[in-house]
Amino acid sequence: MERYDYIIVGSGIAGLYAALLARKHGSVLVLTKGSIDDCNTRWAQGGIAAPIGAEDSAQRHLDDTIAAGAGLVDPIAARVLAEEAADRIDDLVRLGVPFDTLHGEIALAREGAHSLPRILHAGGDSTGAHMELTLSSLAQRSNITVLQFTLATETLLEGGRVAGVRALDERSGRSTDYTCRHLVLATGGAGQLYRVTTNPEVATGNGIALAYRAGAEIMDMEFFQFHPTALKLPGVQPFLISEAVRGEGGLLNDVNGVRFMKEYDKRAELAPRDIVARAILDRMQKTGADHVLLDATSAFGGHAAHVIARFPQIYRTCRDHGLDITRKPIPVSPAAHYTMGGIRTNVWGETTIPGLYACGECACTAVHGANRLASNSLLETVVFAKRVIQRTIKAPHDPVGADPTPDAIDLSEAAPAETPSPSRQAVQSLMWDHVGIVRDGDSLSRAKATLSAWHTALPKPTDRPAHELADLVTCGRLVTEAALIREESRGAHYRSDFPQPHEEWRHHIVFRKDA
């Protein structure tokens, strides 16, 4: 049994940034189920938001974040995010992240629901990759121990406090217990719940399921953000077409060439993502098409060179599939993108279990509320990863209290049933068809019953695919049951049978095992 001061599960930006900070205060082990560079954040194109412009302020960023969150943003967490943003950008610059510049200053772009330009990019639309590669390079040159292809499968508790983690070596099949003083979950989201997703195959909700099984609280799982514009070509994996394309002047037209967003929202293409995603879905249904068209040919005043320079990754990917985005519009449709709910934490990343912390997409401080503001996700990773490490060295552990609302519920096990164990594809299809962009009570009830039966039918996992499938089923149940409970529409959660928000639902839904 090996002992460390810090064990960090996950090698995305949140995990690596936390590890680089923690190494100054003790021994650090990073566990990652893939390679150190295999994570969700490296695919982030949109950039990182920070109020560093001359006319911007933390208050304006805070106001935009709260407005986008549809009444469920925690104002304390949002203020922390906005007020600490500039300092975290300074940290990233010092670490070597090559943010794009214009006339010697960091260039700022605008995205949907932001009141003015405040989005920083690196390598145009390769921001996540540049941040990830910078941090992973530093981590591999430091005294941090990194175990790749090692999957955390169980949180070890002792007297109600974290004692360590059990992990599976995917290559040998052996499980090993590692003990620690502080366990930080930074495992990313659960985009692989859905058949159509912008997330890589590693995004299977491992940390959320791990925390739930240990008894930590899970919150806001019904709020799953669908990105409105993913590349839609026959036989091609969905590929994110950044919101920044619309921010720079890209227009949405239906297959008949009609620009339609003004019919749905006065902000048109710059409306929040949930509105744009539902508008696209509605237009697809009305035209009988499986996509709409995102026209970037007029962006930057029609200067093709500027489009290529600003969106090199998108340009190359589309060109590889025979599409020149400077000459023709991009066929797009919505795809699952971001898990706004997750492991409930306070603004220091503390969970309801002493010694267990969470940050990044797997955590839920309620900073995003019911609908994440574009490009706040990368900012969240560094702001709250920093605060996790600060908390471990500056104050005794004082975990966030159990949620007092009556909604804290357990996923009770289903009665044994003659149900075969599902495949990952079956789970993804069920979630896409019944717990997707537009939901209703009947579909959610059917999905709940099926997922509950599958949960019972799953054999004890012994390898990575089986563990990932079990975690997806757990996360699917959390999303589905929360969506069924919330009888209203709010932010990214839309119920066709309850199409309006209601004040009595302006609170969080929390799950806790054995609640």
Please, what are the domains in the chain? Answer: 1-223+340-401 (3.50.50.60), 225-337 (3.90.700.10)
Contact 110, 119 (CB under 8 A): yes
- Kindly report whether the global pTM for this prediction surpasses the value 0.75: yes
> Which amino acid is located at 269 in the chain?
E
Angle between helices 464-485 and 441-457 (to 10 degrees): 150
* DSSP-assigned beta bridge partners for residue 184: 8, 357
Taking residues 489-503, report their average pLDDT.
97
pLDDT at 253: 97
Q: How many residues does the chain have?
A: 515
User: What is the rounded distance in angstroms from the CA atom of residue 178 to the CA atom of residue 159?
Assistant: 17
Q: Which two tokens stand for residue 514?
A: 């054995």
Which residue among 42, 110, 118, 273 is the active-site one? Answer: 273
Q: How many CB atoms lie within 10 A of CB 324?
A: 13
pLDDT at 356: 97
Taking residues 23-32, report their average pLDDT.
97
Query: What confidence tier does 112 reach under pLDDT thresholds 50, 70, 90?
Result: confident
Query: What confidence tier does 38 reach under pLDDT thresholds 50, 70, 90?
Result: low
Taking residues 67-89, report their average pLDDT.
96
Burial class (CB in 10 A: 0-12, 13-18, 19+), 53: middle
Catalytic site residue 273? yes
Q: Which two tokens stand for residue 38?
A: 């295999």
Lowest pLDDT segment from 298-302, 348-352, 396-400, 483-487? 396-400
> Which of 479 and 102 is assigned the larger pLDDT?
479
